[in-house]
Amino acid sequence: MSQLPFDPLLVSIAAPLAVALAIALGLPKRYSVLLAYAGFAVPALMALHCWYHFPVGLGADYAFATQYDTGLSALGISLKLGLNGIALPLYVLAGLVGLAAGLYAIQSQAERLKIYLMLLLVMQGGLMGVFASVDVFFFYFFHELALIPTFIMVGIWGGRDRNYAAMKMTIYLTVGAMLSLLGLVAIYVKSGANSFDLVSLRHALTAAPLDGTLQKYLFGLLVFGFGILVSLWPLHTWAPLGYGAAPSSAAMLHAGVLKKFGLYGLIQIAVPLLPLGATQWTTVFAGLAVFGNILIVGFVTMAQRDLKQMVGYSSVMHMGYAFLGVACLSGLGAGGVVLMMVAHGLSVALLFLLATSIHHRTHTFDLNEMGGLAQKTPVLAAFFVTATLASIGLPGFANFWGELTIFVAAWSYSKVLTACAVSGIIISAIYGLRAAARVFFGPPTEELNRVTAAHPPADLRWSEKLPAIILLAALLFIGFWPKSLTTPLNAALHPAWPAAGALPLQTTPGK
Amino acid sequence: MTPELLQAAAASNQWSAILPELGLGCLALLLLVLEIVLPKSAHDRIPTVAIVGQLAILVALLVNLTPAGLERDTFNGLLHHSRDGQFLRAFFLVTSIVVCLLGRVALAKQLLPKIEFYHLVLVVTAAMMLLAQSNHFVMLFVALETVTVGFYILVSYVRTSPLSLEAGLKYLIMGALSSALLLFGIVLLYGVAGTPTLPAHTGQAMNFDALSAFLAANPGNFVAQCGIALVLSGVAFKIGAFPFQIWIPDVYQGAPTPVTAFLAVASKAAGFAVLLVLTLKAFAPYAGLTVPLLGVLAAATILFGNIAALTQSNVKRLIGLSGVSHAGFLLLGVVAAVSTPLALGAVYFYLAAYLIATLAVFGVMTHVAGPNDADQELDHYAGLARDNPFLATVLAVGLGSLAGIPPLAGFMGKLFVFIAAFKAGLYPLLAVAIVGVVISIYYYFGWIKAAFFETWRAPQPEGTPDSRPARTPVAWPAGVTLGLLALASVVLGFYQGCFGEWLLNR
């Protein structure tokens, strides 16, 4: 266990928020940037510390658990923090991607850099809070805290169509958040636990499960609420648009970490608390995920000409695998989803970072106007090709283990869906490799020659390389040693999730 | 009359129980005296006297927030003192202090007579404080009329502006109509309760306790039902619930901005204080009538307010109609309060969050508005974030809190009301409320967008005057107040502390 004289979880939430407050109160720019380094580094260090010191053999209990009263004891709400094996991987993901996004933002020369950093820090504090909260209310609360800055960042620093994108994102995500809030409040009221504490809720609902019909409605609310937030087809249209317009660090944090909120909610809260409800919905959302997210969105991704939009669509597509993994309703599937979330978070953040770095050199996101950049920027090319291979799921990267585990779990769920999902790998190989080829290899276009003549492109600077290295190192580390995450994950999933096949699955197709 | 008799009367009436109201009344008179006594050059100090005096009363009230003699009746049952009453007293005082501060900013721009404004605000505030604690229809009606008459003058305060006069006239006619409905309802109730052939008939039916006892003994009496419906309609005018909201956009637009703020916050809260006392105490035996009636009102109010606000471009009309939707959310809480005690605390928390956020937004509006008070368009906010980041931040926090965006206080208020409604089993109303919240995001976000996001503007020919009025620089008292209001919205969202415990633990 941790030997720190303070609560690492609270510090990881409070440090970025405190720095944001200091910047808001008018700190001069030079000190703001210095403090911002600390604001992004502290959560990452705390995350690594918790990872390293995570106790073995914990089961479903929470490590580093602490509780603070915020004056809402009448409603059973208190700030209860802790990590279990499901939360730990995502907490680490939030810390690492936050650090990378922060470092990339600091060197980005954005206009009004202070406010930009302030909003990113608020987002970072919220993200650490989402995965460190044991209290369901604060789980939602921190998610919203992280979500609001995204809208503002898209609206102010966004690219093309930013006003439209900001409005669309706001409305879609508010609807999703309201639906999931309604579902969570319903669980709270109906459980009779008079507490938002996940542990108490779990005890109450294990002792007296809700009846099947009610569970069906509540799970439906949560699936569609969380589904909008995770961009489940056909509710995904905000995502590519928003990510296309969002400034790079905001896109990294949102696509990489914040979007995982919905899936994490399904795995940590919805399925364990409402197992009967879950069985009645799996057919629906597994079908939507495979045919909508993986196949339809996969083909749409292949047709993209805009590099950033393509990365945005590919992240929507990969969410299909995660939903398929949840639909298996087995510990194996859920474990695969958690691994895949971490891997996808790291790799999509890396792709957004590199896409923006490419844009700085080519002054365009249009794939048809690029080519041959590898001769001028070999390091950037190496990074981008590696990131693409990781995102396709090549062995050696974390993504491989996530997808492999999901496919193994899905095989016993439905062979047809698994076959379709596996063919999605080919789709992602096509668009990923084609993008890499268009950008970096082949003859440069005339348009690009004109731009590179005016602004000779430099290779990746160290300030850009460092965040990329952090993300790539984490991908490789987990890829070569997945046990570091799966041991605590198994311990937590085993009691919370039923073993594969224990639940009635007779309604599933393909059996 | 001997001195002993007077002493006995004074002792039995316990005048000390209404010291804050007496203090406000004396302060109001003092302002008029000062205007006569002081030389004209010193008249600028009189508003300061009003604000400092109210601050002193507020501090005295907060120090003595839970005195020994709570939960008792005074003045032969005219007033009932309770913890909720103490909360509402502080609520009205805070509103009135901020309104006076805004008055200093706004009245200077329009070259209006000053002292009467503060005098009227103080008198109206004292009347509202009594209204919130009334336990008797006579007290209720007298206090309500004092408030309404004060507002007739305040709304048409800008005598040179046709819009202000029109607003005053509209408010006068609608106010008279609502008073008539209320009075007719009271008379019906009084009459039916005095009918000797009915069981438990009483001559004291003006008193809420006696009326409640009579209603409990006569369930389903048709005349009593008519009376209750009429009284509730009269109150629905004050809170601006559908279909009694028609006066709101015009009156809000025409009235001077500080008065609009006063109407939006204090007048609405006073209406809800009355509504809570009536539904939970006087009409409690007729919950079978009040719950569906108020439930339908709540759903219609939420939908109407939000949908009507979507198309507004004048910010005063926009905030008026958004206030209608807030009345709907509060009504949802009132309906839930009939069966769930938690809802009462939720409604008060919502009101507190609404006060903090609305006054912050009105504070910004006062500074952005030009000399023509009724003309405040969304376009005038273009570039506010660049020119005055402080005002823009306060505006964003206030609007965010009104929209119910976490981590601001308004979100917590909505959440508490929704949880209470869930516990009360009001699922259809909840669905309507969720739809309302999502619609409201659009127009609140549109306002924030106008202030923050750079939009393309058609290039003007050289020398064209800017259509946006010049912004008033923020003086330190207004700056401190706005900063505190914004900070309170944020802090109450994160940490409710003893305030949350005090309101919600019951």
Helix (H), strand (E), coil (C) string for B35-77 = HHHCCHHHHHHHHHHHHHHHHHHHHHHHHCCCCCCCCEEECCC
Nearest to B367 by CA among B262, B443, B263, B469: B469
Average confidence (pLDDT) over A434-459: 80
Nearest CA in chain A to B425: A189
Contact A166 B423 (CB under 8 A): no
Contact B405 A189 (CB under 8 A): no
Asked if the structure places residue A3 within a domain, the reply is: no
Residues of B in contact with A162 (CB under 8 A): 453
CA distance B182 to chain A (A): 36
- B304 compared with A235, residue with greater pLDDT: B304
Contact B500 A141 (CB under 8 A): no
How far apart are the C-alpha atoms of A387 and A348, rounded to whole Å?
A: 8
Alpha helices for A209-330 (secondary structure H):
212-229, 238-245, 248-253, 260-265, 271-273, 275-287, 297-302, 307-327
Residue ranges of domains in chain B: 17-455+472-504
How far apart are the C-alpha atoms of A402 and A318, rounded to whole Å?
A: 11
Residues of B with a Cβ under 8 Å from any A Cβ are 342, 345, 393, 400, 405-407, 411, 415-416, 418-419, 422-423, 430, 434, 437-438, 441-442, 445, 449, 452-455, 494-501, 504-506
Tell whether the model's pLDDT for residue A510 goes beyond 70. no
CA distance B417 to chain A (A): 11
CA angle at B302 for the pair B234 and B414, rounded to the nearest 5°:
105
Provide the strand spans (E) within A369-489. none
Contact A156 B452 (CB under 8 A): yes
Tens of pLDDT, residues A170-217: 888 888 888 888 888 888 888 888 888 888 888 888 888 888 888 888
Residues of B in contact with A169 (CB under 8 A): none
CA distance B331 to chain A (A): 19
Among A143, A189, A191, most B C-beta atoms within 10 A, so best to mutate, is: A189
How far apart are the C-alpha atoms of A266 and A270, rounded to whole Å?
A: 5
Residues of B in contact with A161 (CB under 8 A): none
Tell whether the model's pLDDT for residue A166 goes beyond 50. yes
The pLDDT assigned to B128 comes to: 94
Contact A170 B441 (CB under 8 A): yes
How far apart are the C-alpha atoms of A339 and A322, rounded to whole Å?
A: 10
Average confidence (pLDDT) over A269-278: 85
Confidence of residue A501 (pLDDT cuts 50, 70, 90): very low
In the 8-state DSSP scheme, what is residue A292? I
Among A174, A191, A196, most B C-beta atoms within 10 A, so best to mutate, is: A174
Average confidence (pLDDT) over A151-162: 81
How far apart are the C-alpha atoms of A97 and B221, rounded to whole Å?
A: 67
Residues of B in contact with A148 (CB under 8 A): 400, 405-406
The pLDDT assigned to A504 comes to: 37
Of the candidate ranges A289-293, A489-493, B23-27, B348-352, the one whose mean pLDDT is the lowest: A489-493
Residues of B in contact with A74 (CB under 8 A): 342, 345, 500-501, 504-506
Residues 6+ apart with CB under 8 A from A283: A327, A507, A508, A509
How far apart are the C-alpha atoms of B247 and A460, rounded to whole Å?
A: 63
Confidence of residue A4 (pLDDT cuts 50, 70, 90): confident
Confidence of residue A2 (pLDDT cuts 50, 70, 90): low
In three-state secondary structure terms, B220 is: coil
| A355 residue type, one letter | A
Tell whether the model's pLDDT for residue A114 goes beyond 80. yes
How far apart are the C-alpha atoms of A290 and A173, rounded to whole Å?
A: 22
The pLDDT assigned to A496 comes to: 65
CA distance B93 to chain A (A): 24
Residues of A in contact with B505 (CB under 8 A): 73-74
* Residue A68 CB neighbours (<10 A): 13
Residues of B in contact with A164 (CB under 8 A): none
Residues of B in contact with A144 (CB under 8 A): 405-407, 411
The pLDDT assigned to B12 comes to: 66
% of chain A beyond a pLDDT of 70: 95
Residues of B in contact with A73 (CB under 8 A): 501, 505
Domain count across chain A: 1
- The end-to-end CA distance of chain B, in Å, is 46
The pLDDT assigned to A460 comes to: 76
Asked if the structure places residue A359 within a domain, the reply is: yes
Residues 6+ apart with CB under 8 A from B481: B98, B101, B363
Domain extent for A297: 8-496
Asked if the structure places residue A2 within a domain, the reply is: no
Q: CB-CB: which of A162, A175, A186 is closest to B422?
A: A186
Average confidence (pLDDT) over A147-157: 85
CA distance A400 to chain B (A): 37
CA distance A90 to chain B (A): 22
- The end-to-end CA distance of chain A, in Å, is 45
Contact A75 B438 (CB under 8 A): no
CA dist list (Å): B197 to B145, B220, B381: 33, 16, 65
Average confidence (pLDDT) over A29-37: 86
Asked if the structure places residue A501 within a domain, the reply is: no
Of the candidate ranges A254-268, A372-386, A492-506, the one whose mean pLDDT is the lowest: A492-506
Predicted model pTM: 0.88
The pLDDT assigned to B147 comes to: 93
Tokens of B167: 């607003």
Give chain B's residues under pLDDT 70.
1, 5-6, 9-13, 67-69, 111-113, 454-467
